Amino acid sequence: MAVTVTSLDQYKSTISFAGGDNDAAVLGGVNTALLGKNWTVYDAAANTSGSQAALFNFSPLSGPTGLANNGTLYAATITIDGTPHAVSYAGSTMQNFTTLLSQINTAILGFGLAAIVDNTIVVTSGSTGLNSTVSMADAGVFGVSLDLFASVTGFARFDTAVNGTVGKTYTASIDDGAESGYQGVNVGGARLPVLQLVW
């Protein structure tokens, strides 16, 4: 019997079956598929997002950026979860840290979020887990554009990027027969109702 396990949240999963099975067949299939087996579960709510910060030598970040108030282009690349996003705008559109932040967020819309935190501009991925990453770099091109961050007043450096993580993992197992409703499961030494049987 085919058994499909679908995660609902960090506490429950739903086990579904091909149609047409009666209760006895379903329970038999659950026992056959799960009884005595071990698998890995983790607390998805504890997953974290990747991030990186641009550090400045003053706080709070407010006031003028020092960028030319004309059509001079300033460029950077922010790579989120492996996908590069070009941040390239005229200096006239980024005259203070509020408008600078707005332009960065426009460039990474739907993929991440930039925020001012003390003396940093932090870019955080919109995803979580091991593949959640952020990498920031200036991307000025000779004769075309200037480095964005290096041109902003007080910029010091890019901090070390922090990759996303997954929640704590546990070994889970069922040690008795399945029944309708919630099935008790041993998770990390504690018995929790993390499986819901549906048919």
Model pLDDT for residues 25-70, shown as the tens digit of each residue: 555 555 555 555 555 555 555 788 999 999 999 988 999 999 999 9
Is the same domain home to 104 and 127? yes
Decide: 31 and 178 in contact? Cβ < 8 Å. yes
My answer on whether 118 and 173 are in the same domain is no
Whether residues 78 and 124 fall in one domain = yes
- The alpha helices in 46-140, defined as continuous H runs, are 97-107
First-to-last C-alpha distance (Å) of the chain: 13
Cα–Cα distance for residue pair 54/88, rounded to 1 Å: 17
The reply to whether 92 and 138 lie within a common domain is: yes
pLDDT tens per residue, range 100-158: 999 999 999 999 999 999 999 999 999 998 899 999 999 999 999 999 999 999 999 99
Domain total of the chain: 2
Pair (28, 63) in one structural domain: no
- For residues 6 and 197, the answer to whether their CB atoms sit within 8 Å is no
Note whether 123 and 176 are same-domain residues: no
DSSP state of 35: B
Contact 70, 90 (CB under 8 A): yes
Q: How many CB atoms lie within 10 A of CB 77?
A: 16
Whether residue 88 is contained in a domain is answered as yes
List the structure tokens of 19: 């149609």
92 and 177 co-located in one domain: no
Q: Which two tokens stand for residue 136?
A: 């920031």
Residue in the block written with tokens 């058994």: 3
- Count of alpha carbons within 13 angstroms of residue 156, beta-carbon side: 13
* Residue-range definition of the domain harbouring residue 124: 51-158
The first and second tokens of residue 43, run together, are 């607390």
Q: Are residues 32 and 118 in the same domain?
A: no
The reply to whether 31 and 112 lie within a common domain is no
User: Residues 85, 108: one domain?
Assistant: yes
Whole-model pTM: value is: 0.66
